[in-house]
């Protein structure tokens, strides 16, 4: 069963619907709504004047929108792009994100990178140096990068004249990043 309404509307696909002047629904279970709209793919939907959905399961929404690839939704065409507005934040893993969510994610990644960099700078400045003849050394360091700051501490011990060990730790002052490093050295 097909349905066509409007001057020269044409619904030839099985269970197809064409509404509007010269609307054409040739795909099975396709729907074309709007003047000169075309729904050629199986299960394709074209809504709007001159909208074209030519691939299976494709959707073209809005005047002059074009969907030519299977399983896609198009809101425009090259040179006729549109924005989606009033989009709720995505919740499920396959949901789209809105601009606020995207910017929040970028900001959090940037903040974490700045924390790590500040912690690394602090640990570099807290590298204890054992002078010859000394058995133990302590040091403190501070680091800052972007808007993040970190503190670090380090200790070194001489086991023998030729063998030393060290331990460094650093942490971001705003939380989230802690680093620990250790090392040994043998000199001759």
What angle is formed at CA 126 by the lines to CA 173 and CA 157, rounded to 5 degrees? 130
Q: What is the pLDDT of residue 32?
A: 98
Sign of CA dihedral 64, 70, 73, 74: negative
Q: How far is CA 143 from CA 4, 44, 154, 169, 180, in A?
A: 71, 58, 14, 12, 15
* Structural domains in the chain, sorted by start: 3-74 (2.150.10.10), 111-186 (3.30.1300.30)
Q: What is the pLDDT of residue 68?
A: 97
64 CB-contact burial (10 Å; exposed 0-12 / middle 13-18 / buried 19+): middle
User: How, if at all, do strands 178-186 and 163-172 pair?
Assistant: antiparallel
Q: What is the pLDDT of residue 56?
A: 98
Q: What is the pLDDT of residue 136?
A: 94
Counting as low any pLDDT under 50, the low residues of the chain are none
The alpha carbon of residue 131 and the mean position of all alpha carbons in its chain are separated, in whole angstroms, by 49
Short-list 141, 139, 188, 137, CA closest to 161: 188
Cβ-contact 183, 169 below 8 angstroms? no
Task: List, edge to edge, every strand of the sheet that includes 178-186.
Answer: 136-145, 148-158, 163-172, 178-186
The two three-digit tokens of residue 101, written as one number: 């969510």
pLDDT digits (tens, 9 = 90+) for 81-117: 999 888 899 999 888 899 999 999 999 999 999 999 9
Short-list 63, 25, 62, CA closest to 44: 25
111 CB-contact burial (10 Å; exposed 0-12 / middle 13-18 / buried 19+): middle
Q: What is the pLDDT of residue 185?
A: 80
């Amino acid at each position: 069963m097909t349905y066509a309404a409007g001057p020269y509307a044409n619904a030839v696909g099985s269970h197809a619907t064409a509404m509007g002047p010269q609307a054409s629904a040739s795909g099975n279970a396709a729907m074309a709504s709007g003047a000169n709209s075309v729904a050629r793919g199986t299960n394709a939907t074209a809504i709007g004047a001159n909208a074209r959905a030519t691939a299976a399961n494709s959707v073209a929404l809005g005047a002059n929108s074009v969907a030519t690839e299977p399983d896609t939704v198009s809101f425009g065409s090259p040179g006729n792009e549109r924005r989606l507005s009033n989009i709720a934040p995505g919740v499920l893993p396959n949901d789209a994100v809105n601009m606020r969510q995207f910017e929040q994610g970028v900001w959090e990644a940037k903040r974490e990178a700045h924390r790590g960099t500040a912690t690394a700078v602090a640990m570099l400045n807290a590298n204890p140096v054992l002078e010859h003849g000394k058995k133990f050394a302590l040091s403190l360091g501070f680091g800052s990068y972007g808007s993040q700051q970190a503190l670090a501490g380090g200790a070194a011990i001489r086991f023998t004249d030729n063998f030393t060990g060290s331990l460094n730790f650093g942490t971001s002052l705003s939380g989230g990043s802690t680093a620990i490093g250790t090392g040994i050295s043998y000199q001759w």
